[in-house]
Amino acid sequence: MRNLVTCVILFWAATTLAGCGSDNNPIDPSPITPVTVTETFSGSLNVNGARTHSFAVDRAGTVSATVKTLSDSAATMGISLGTWNGVACAIIISNTAAVVNTTVTGTATSTGQFCVWLNDVGKLTAGIDYSVDVTHY
């Protein structure tokens, strides 16, 4: 009888303790939502002149540049997006008839240094002041 009681106790302990453990189920991590960054660049553009502004992209995705203000609302200039090598802007996409609210949009397939290039396309009769918003990840 003693062996039977011992067996019952051992069986009870084994089945009861086997159910112990963590109820925490592994949770799949939520995807990280990229944070959009907007940088504003401003300056002056002379007749036959050009200006380059570089910026760093931390995550692949859409990159856009929008002409926000021009001191001469009738002015037309060029706006381009490209890659920056530390010396020059290698143009990828451009618009040579940019006015206020003109946007150029491209896709950064990797992180790195990029640039926005503004230039007189032969239509300025005097220098202008500008501001451009660049949005990226």
The domain ranges of the chain are 37-136
**Contact between 136 and 37 (Cβ < 8 Å):** yes
What CATH code would you report for 37-136? 2.60.120.380
Global confidence as pTM = 0.77
> Could you tell me which of 56, 38, 64, 53 has the C-alpha nearest to residue 111?
56
Tell me the C-alpha to C-alpha distance, in Å, between residue 8 and each of 12, 18, 20, 65, 94: 6, 15, 19, 77, 83
pLDDT, tens digit only, all 137 positions of the chain:
454 444 444 444 455 545 555 556 667 778 888 899 999 999 999 999 999 999 999 999 999 999 999 999 999 999 999 999 999 999 999 999 999 999 999 999 999 999 999 999 999 999 999 999 999 99
